Structure 1
Amino acid sequence: MELLAALLAGFAVAAVTTPVGVSGAVLLLPVQIGVLGLHGPAVSATNLLYNVVSTPLGLQRLARGARGQRTETLTACAVAAPCALAGAAVRVTWLSDPAVFRALLAVVLTATALRLLLPVRRRSPAGEGARERRTGLLAPAAGGAALLGAAVGIGGGSLLAPVLVGAGGWLTARAAVVALATTLTTSAVGLSAYAAFDAIGFGAAPAAPAWGLGLALGAGGALGALVGSGLGGRLDERYLRPLLGTLLLLTGAVHMAGLRP
């Protein structure tokens, strides 16, 4: 029953979040804690496993539709890898306190909610040095997103894309490819780090993912993303974004208050 619940949760979350460009991993964190009963760094690791399973298909589709960012993608992934390792180490040490982690989760949920309620507008950098500003922003933004993404368990793409679009003036399609590739890299490296930390007894336990639940969540997420991408043109984003934003905002407030959702 737990695996079935995880499969359905992954499907439902991805189907609803994909049309508005938000990673289902953000909403699955509260589901794992409040419904599936996971605890400790294993929550973050299991969420990264969800990303590893559910992300490749979406990345392949995006990459076919938006070409010309190979260099930027490789740069972001190269920076993300060591930062993801550091993020996992931070999670099993400094962020092992459940209260501290829940507070950070509340911040991430609230930030994602605000992104939905107040969509990021693309800045159009003009004049000399515009390209340098766009590319110069990439490495620190990808590193920061990977560090936080691995620690929390969201991958980091949902943090990176708004920065590239809003502050760097990137086209949304280009930012989406780089952000999703960063999410996949961060998730794969972070997942490996959590499994290794658990095996050698470094930091708080349990750190290894709940493999069965994570695979079920990811399989459901992959199917849900397919359905969500198909529904994208039929659902009115004017209503869906505020609905999801409000849900995330309320969930973040519950976690900040120290209550179970």
Structure 2
Amino acid sequence: MFRFTFPVSQVTTWVFLPPLVTFVLAFFGAMAGVTGAFLLLPFQVSILGYTGPGVSATNFVYNLFAIPGTVLRYAREGRMNWPLAAVITLGSLPGIGLGYLARVRFLTDPRHFKPFVALVLLYLAWRIGRNLLGAGGRPAAPPAAAARVRTRSLGLRRVVFAFDGRDHAFDPRPLFLVALAVGVVGGAYGIGGGAVLAPFCVTVLELPVHAVAGAALFGTFMSSVVGVAVYSAGFFSGGVETRPDILLGALFGLGGLAGGYLGARMQRFVPERPIKVGLLAVLLFVAGKYLLAALG
């Protein structure tokens, strides 16, 4: 009675399972600037048995539903870092198109990308772990309730913003190049790239996670718009079905919409340290799965 077969993917599952899974992924992911799509993809492949290129597009559909409420919440609370979001978006969008071409033309076996992704995630996990050990075990307090992101200066080599009583700066050029590379991988696997870009901003650029999460999610949303468009069009696919399963993606998205909004609302009450610990655990878990899959 509660089982349903989705028309495009031919996945048969209980109707309550997809939104339940994504509610949990989005609730915790939103606090760190990720949607959980990088964990949703293995769930679709391994649990639901959805393995065609359309699974990547369906992941993008999930992001379209899951992210807007979260970004809106961050924007309303003044924690949207728009210059950071712009750099991430401008780098990611062309990468998504290149990643799509790689997926449908060359990556019939997506395991070829997994060792590379695993090494990137392990590097970021190492940076987060080193940062946590260097903190001396003292949990940092959450930002002040009135903390807002305020842009101080904009430039091609340096962007400065204020948050929670401190000034922070980053060079947009390396971030643009990383976003471009992540966009290629994300375009192939159906993830917007927040799972890599958020840790990169927190660890390498040393920006506060409370001022990064909204920008990373906005970039993921824009990448997902382009991802859904190119996979739906099916350019250069050679007749392979690349369309997303809209109905399945929407069901995933409903859970993600609720979980992401609540996670964004709760983020300002949570200290930075537990968020980083959770992000570290997820990075290690996904990197381990990718390495095991590549070795197998």
Instruction: Normalising by structure 1, report the TM-score.
Output: 0.77
Aligned length: 250
Deviations 1:204-227 (A, max 9, x none): 723111222111111111122234
Deviations 1:74-126 (A, max 9, x none): 344234322211221111112222442555565566567657655589xxxxx
Provide the residue aligned with 1:124 in structure 2. Answer: none
Structure 2: which 5+ runs fail to align? 4-12, 135-155, 160-169
Tell me the distance in 2 between the aligned counterparts of 1:51 and 1:10: 10
Provide the residue aligned with 2:186 in structure 1. Answer: 149
Provide the residue aligned with 1:166 in structure 2. Answer: 203
Structure 1: which 5+ runs fail to align? 122-128
Answer with 108-117 or 151-160: which moved more.
108-117
Alignment match of 1:212 (pick from 236, 243, 247): 247
Could you tell me how far 1:73 is from its partner in structure 2?
3.2
Tell me the distance in 1 between the aligned counterparts of 2:262 and 2:19: 14
Alignment match of 1:48 (pick from 47, 60, 70): 60
Bigger strand fraction: 2
Contact 2:29 2:36 (8 Å CA) reproduced: yes
Tell me the distance in 2 between the aligned counterparts of 1:162 and 1:91: 25
Tell me the distance in 2 between the aligned counterparts of 1:52 and 1:118: 34
Provide the residue aligned with 1:38 in structure 2. Answer: 50
Q: Percent identity between the aligned chains? A: 30
Provide the residue aligned with 1:92 in structure 2. Answer: 104
Q: Which has the larger radius of gyration?
A: 2
Contact 1:79 1:143 (8 Å CA) reproduced: yes
**Quick one: structure 1 residues 47 and 104, their matched pair in 2 at CA, closer, same or farther if it must change by over 3 Å?**
farther
Tell me the distance in 1 between the aligned counterparts of 2:254 and 2:244: 15
- Is residue 73 from structure 1 mapped to residue 91 from structure 2 by the alignment? no
**Quick one: structure 1 residues 204 and 157, their matched pair in 2 at CA, closer, same or farther if it must change by over 3 Å?**
farther
Q: In the TM superposition, what are the counterparts of 1:1-261 in structure 2 within 5 Å?
A: 1=3, 2=13, 3-66=15-78, 69-101=81-113, 103=115, 131=158, 134-197=171-234, 202-203=237-238, 205-229=240-264, 233=269, 237=274, 240=278, 244-245=282-283, 247-258=285-296
Tell me the distance in 1 between the aligned counterparts of 2:103 and 2:228: 12
RMSD across aligned C-alpha pairs, in angstroms? 3.5
Tell me the distance in 1 between the aligned counterparts of 2:219 and 2:229: 15
Tell me the distance in 1 between the aligned counterparts of 2:74 and 2:205: 20
Provide the residue aligned with 1:126 in structure 2. Answer: none
**Quick one: structure 1 residues 225 and 44, their matched pair in 2 at CA, closer, same or farther if it must change by over 3 Å?**
same
Contact 1:76 1:139 (8 Å CA) reproduced: yes
Tell me the distance in 1 between the aligned counterparts of 2:110 and 2:263: 33
Contact 1:113 1:246 (8 Å CA) reproduced: yes
Answer with 81-90 or 110-119: which moved more.
110-119
Could you tell me how far 1:17 is from its partner in structure 2?
3.2
Tell me the distance in 1 between the aligned counterparts of 2:116 and 2:57: 16
